[in-house]
Structures are given as structure tokens and as C-alpha cells.
Structure 1
Amino acid sequence: MAPFSLMTAGVSLLAKSFNVFSCTSILARSTRILPATYFSLGKSLSTSTSNDGRPKAPMNSYFRYLVEQKSFVVRQNPAMKQTEVNRKIGQQWSTLSPEQKRPFEVAALRDREQFKKDLEQYQARLTPAQIEQKAEERRQMLAKRNAKRKKRELTSLGKPKRPRPSFMIFISEQFDKARGHNMVAKVLSMTDDWKRLLTYQKQVYIQLAEDDVVRYKNEMRSWENHMVEIGRVDLLREKTIADRKRAAKKVTGAKQTTTGRKTAAAKSTAAKKSTDG
């Protein structure tokens, strides 16, 4: 996706199935719905390559429209926040008819086809080592993205926060009083202050940290039980899963032992009756 710093660039509306006259007539009808909107013909909004020479994927039809409209909306509403600007343009886009959206879709499709050709040429120039390196970079990127997604999911499900060590509790309480003009300087000054604390002074924070561990264990126990109830066993810790398996095995073993004793007792009773008879 092209950066938003290119928002003053024009949208290319020329395609094989459209001539200049037909595109211009469509744009004229569009501007009657969105006054003062302007469009530039003949330019692509996609950046040619990234830093490593790989072609960048072009913007889709909506983002092309967003780029075109952004400068106009900002000029008309200088005090409007960025999120509100994007929301307003999104509402405008949703009101456009298929005919009014078509020039943006045509331009996006043309750039997409060109991107595919450029990507094939780029990949053909790569050596086997470079291909493997790119594949590894992609695996790492996907792993990082999945980790972030999972963290957001766990947060939304209310997973308890991990306990803080004593030093971190000290930092959180003393940060406003710390010396220094930036974060690094403040942390360094607090590290020195922590080292100078007497044993009984540190003990206060050590006790708070121990209490926080107890809090975390209790909250995690309740949270994991809730995850089992809603069918999200996949979110349990490995230790919890192992403990549940051991507990289930013990219950199964106890049931088998009880059943075996009952069976043996029944056989013994039956044999005794047979002997007495």
C-alpha cells in the first residue's frame, strides 16, 4: 500500500476498456455528488519499489478514493481529527454508485496487473539464497503478526496481567519522583536508588511482589476455568493442560480400581454361593 504522503498524487483513470471521454463523463457525474472534488488523470498511486527492490502492492479502489479526497476534506475541515476525516470519506465512498466507483476500480485493476508483472520479474532475478531469506523473513513477520493478534485476543478475553517483580513495583511507584529528562535517564536514576535501598526498605516491595504472585495465580485459575467453560481449552497454559491430564488419568485409574474390586467381590460371592449350594 502506498504511503499517505502521496495523497496529492492523481488517480489514473485510463484503461483499455475506457477512453478519456468516457472517464471524464463519469467523473463529471461524480463531482456533482461531491462538489469541489478533483481528480488527476494518467498517474499511478502505487510506489514502484520498496527499499529492497521488491514492487509494492498498489492501493485498492477505496484507498485511491481516500487519497484523492483527503486533502480536500482536510482543507474544508482543518480542525477535524484524522480518524474523523477517514470516517467522513468512507461515508462518501459508501454513497457512490457503481458507475461512480468504476474509474477507481479500473485504475486499481490496471495497477494490480502491472504489479503482478513487476513481481514476477523481481522474483525471477532472486538467487536461491535470497529466496530462502525472503521466505524466512516472511515467516518471522507472520509469527510476529500472529503473536500480536493472539495478545489482543487474550486481552479482550480478560486474561490476568502477569505479576510484577519487586523492582518494577518500585519503578512504578517512584517514577514521578525520578531524576532525569527522559525515560532512559529516569530508569537509570531509579536503578541507582534501588541499589541504595536498605534491606528493610526493599522488603516492602518484595512483599508486594509476592502478593502480586498470589493474585496472579488466583486470577489465572479462575480465568482458565472460564476458558474451559466457553470451549477455549487452546488458551490454557501447557502446565495447566498437563495437570488436567494427570488429574483425569488419576480419576480414570481410581474408577478402574473400584470397578475391578467390585467385579472381584462379585465373583467371590458367586463362587461362595456355588460352593455352598
Structure 2
Amino acid sequence: MQALPFATLAFVLYVAAAIWQGMTLLRRVPPRQGMVRLLGALGLLLHIWVVFQLMELSPGLWPGFTNSATILMAVVVNILLVASLFKPVLNASVALFPLAAIVLIVATWVPSQGRDTGLTPGILLHAISSALAFAMLVIAAVQAVLVGLQNQALRHHHIRGIVQSLPPLTTMERVLFELVWAGVLLLTLSIVSGFIFLDNLFAQHLAHKTLLSLFAWIIFTTLLVGRYRFGWRGMRAVRWTLGGGILLALAYFGSKFVLEIVLHQG
């Protein structure tokens, strides 16, 4: 396939950036954030080019399972790179760059068929806000894992290794909640626009996505209320963030995976 060499090169760039950032966390190599961003950005450019190639091979306004996954991961990487210029979130690339690389290779080998659906400005708003919400909250989930590791290490008085490489725990938690705040606002826009512009959000093929998205919204919103009303932090914040993130991932990919991969239905 014509796209495979470019997907492979993107894979190498993503993994190289993730390995260097991972070695930085382990204090095996000096920090090189500029280099990590550059490798990630080059991987993203190739990633986007491959997405366009895949969309040409499977025409239709709404992409299928594997193509949807690789588009969403391109959005995730893009937001992560931009956010890392202002916030200490580049460490999330240790998990997200390899995930984007794997999804891209899988989509190249197993492209999915798109389907034609009327695309209106309202539906476009729903699609864009959904993608941005997913990106923000998946970055928040990885940030939560790092906060959890840092929290556990400090509780057991392990102050070497990864703890020394991360920003202070208070900073990590503040960034986590900023990501959740942004994600919840975008998820709210996605849900509201879906109710307004989609014909029936509780139709058979959309019901699970709607319900899981609503449950995820409730979890993230409860976390924010608990944070600012009761001072929730630490492992409680980590667990709630990961719980909401898992529900959101199931909402976005659950039915597509079952219908297209398991049952082989378009």
C-alpha cells in the first residue's frame, strides 16, 4: 500500500520521541523537549498525510472504526504538542505517541469503509467538539496515571527516578484538572450539539454512545465539583479521571468495534 512506508516512518518517529522522553523520565538521558516535539511533529505530519490517503481509499463522510481511531489519535497528538508549549504535559507522549503509532499502522493494514451521511454545520460542530473532547480527556487520563505514580512514590518515600523528573505534585494535579475542565466543556458542547443537530441520539446505533458519553460527563463533572467543593485530589482524582476516560473510550469506539470488526457490518 502506498501509505504504508509513510505510516512506518511516522511510527519510527513517534516511538523514537516516546523512548527519549521515557528515558528522560527515568533520568537516563538529559531532557530534550525541543527534539521530542520535533520528532512528534514530523510524525504527525506524516500521520495526517496517511489519514488523507486512507480517506481516499474508503470514501464516505463518516469514517469507519480504524480510520476514526487514527483521525482521533492525530487530534490527540496535535493537542498534546500544542499544549506542551504552555503546560508540562509532554510526559504524556510516553504513552500517547506509541499508541498513535500503533493505531496508524493498524489503520494502514486494515482500513475501514466510510459511509455517506448528510453533513451540516451543526453535525460538523458536533464531530469537531467530540474529537477535541476525546483528545483533552485522553491526555488527562495519561496525566492522571503520572499523578498516580508520583503520588504512590511520594507516599512510600521514593524520591528518586521518575519523581525527580516530574514537576511538583501540586503542579501535576493543577494541570490534570485544567485538562479535565477543558475536556468537560468540549464534551458538554458535543452532547448539547448532538441533541440539537442529530435526529435521534437514542437510536439503536447511537444509544450506547449517548448513554456512555452522558455517564462519562457525569463522572468528570462530579470530579470537578468534588475538587472545588470538597478538595478532592490525589488517588481519588486519579481513579475518577481514569473511570471517566474508560467510559468515554467505550462510547467512542465500542459500537464501531463490535459492528465493524466483530460482526463485520458497515
**TM-score using structure 1 length:** 0.24
**TM-score using structure 2 length:** 0.24
Q: Which has the higher contact order (CA 8 A, sep 6+)?
A: 2
Give the number of the structure whose alpha-carbon radius of gyration is greater: 1
